Structure 1
Amino acid sequence: MEQNFTQCSKCKASITAEDVFCSNCGYPENADQEEKDKYEYRIKLKMNVLKDAKKKLKNVKILLWVLAGLHLVVGLAFLSQEITFYDGIGPIIAAVIFIACVFWVNKQPLVGIMAAFIFWVLLQLSVVLVDPALLLSGIILKIVFIGIFVKGISSAKDYKEFSQKLRTLNATT
């Protein structure tokens, strides 16, 4: 029994005339137009999730730049005063770490955001150890920062998942 082979119009993989879906990319090659529209819609949804995730990742990077800038300004202000010179070194080191996290987020979003978030939390805890009353100082801003980090972590997961799925589809097309 001889099978007729054809090519998938999306990925050019060989499929039989009886195959409804391409076994390589999942495109409904031999299905009706409704199935093809559903496939394109799913691709579009994945692209929208990626676009939204990129926006939230950008918000985290902006937050990290702001944190780095604030720590740098505080550090430089302390460095300019002889009595507090050594107090200025810590904030400058923190600024450098936040800047490094921005570049880390560009390479590995989830790991970079988690590292930045953990570092930020440790900084907050170290301040509270010095003066517990500072826990409530700027509480609204702290809640906003936590929200940005949490959304960033969620978006980094989505970004990783959906970019991998789209890469797989694009590699086959």
Structure 2
Amino acid sequence: MMEQSQIQCSKCKTTLSQEDIFCPNCGYPENGGQEEKDKFDYRIKLKMNVLKDAKKKLKNVKILLWVLAAFHLLAGLFYLTQELTFYDGIGTLIASIIFIACVFWVKNQPLTGIMAAFVFWILLQLSVVFVDPSLLFHGIILKIIFIGIFVKGISSAKDYKEFSQKLQVLNAPNE
């Protein structure tokens, strides 16, 4: 029996036979034409661009969480100085700590961290509305902006996870 010569994929270093046109691991057309290779490289660049865009949107969510944490920290410190609202101050300081924790959660697990922060923010909004329903419309434009940032962040976290996994298979840098 004749021995087949083996080659390595130039993208992921998987061993291929001479008959393999595409790498079974990453899909690179190692034995394909230049047009196929160019299309593969173009798809990689597109994935990297999506990843870069997702990182920008994740950064926006982190900024929002820092703003929410700072706002709650300042409000909590103010409430602590007021005798009638001392317990509101403690609750607001706890909210600040939760938002800070979510920032670090977003760094490690973007989708889970953003979802937790969004749910917590919604619960805070609902708790205020239960006390005074008219407060639902106070700062409505800001609330809509925050919801938009959270929704875009969730979408970006999904994209980030999907495309970073695809690029890891190819050993491509995911800046």
The Cα shift of 1:124 comes to 0.3
Q: Deviations over 1:91-130 (max 9, x none)?
A: 1000000000000001100000000000000000000000
Find the counterpart in structure 1 of residue 82 from structure 2. 81
Find the counterpart in structure 2 of residue 6 from structure 1. 7
C-alpha separation in 2, matches of 1:8 and 1:57 = 33
Find the counterpart in structure 2 of residue 113 from structure 1. 114
C-alpha separation in 2, matches of 1:25 and 1:168 = 6
The Cα shift of 1:24 comes to 2.1
C-alpha separation in 2, matches of 1:129 and 1:24 = 54
Q: Deviations over 1:122-159 (max 9, x none)?
A: 00000000000001111110000000000000000001
Q: Are the equivalent residues in 1 in contact too, given 2:72–2:95 (CA < 8 A)?
A: yes
Q: What is the CA RMSD across the aligned residues, in angstroms?
A: 1.2
The Cα shift of 1:85 comes to 1.7
C-alpha separation in 1, matches of 2:89 and 2:13 = 61
The Cα shift of 1:169 comes to 1.3
Q: Which amino acid aligns with 2:52?
A: K
Find the counterpart in structure 2 of residue 149 from structure 1. 150
The Cα shift of 1:11 comes to 2.3
The Cα shift of 1:12 comes to 2.4
Counterpart check, 1:72 vs 2:73: yes
Find the counterpart in structure 2 of residue 36 from structure 1. 37
Find the counterpart in structure 2 of residue 60 from structure 1. 61
**TM-score, normalisation: structure 2:** 0.94
SS in 1 for 2:85: helix
**TM-score, normalisation: structure 1:** 0.95
C-alpha separation in 2, matches of 1:149 and 1:11 = 35
State how many pairs are aligned: 171
Q: Which amino acid aligns with 1:62?
A: I
Q: Which amino acid aligns with 2:127?
A: S
**Where does the alignment leave 5 or more consecutive residues of structure 2 unmatched?**
none
Q: Are the equivalent residues in 1 in contact too, given 2:9–2:23 (CA < 8 A)?
A: yes
The Cα shift of 1:4 comes to 2.5
C-alpha separation in 1, matches of 2:77 and 2:23 = 61
Find the counterpart in structure 1 of residue 163 from structure 2. 162
**Where does the alignment leave 5 or more consecutive residues of structure 1 unmatched?**
none
C-alpha separation in 1, matches of 2:91 and 2:12 = 54
Find the counterpart in structure 1 of residue 97 from structure 2. 96
SS in 2 for 1:83: coil
SS in 2 for 1:6: strand
Q: Deviations over 1:9-66 (max 9, x none)?
A: 2222221212111112211011110000011111111111110000000000000000
SS in 2 for 1:9: coil
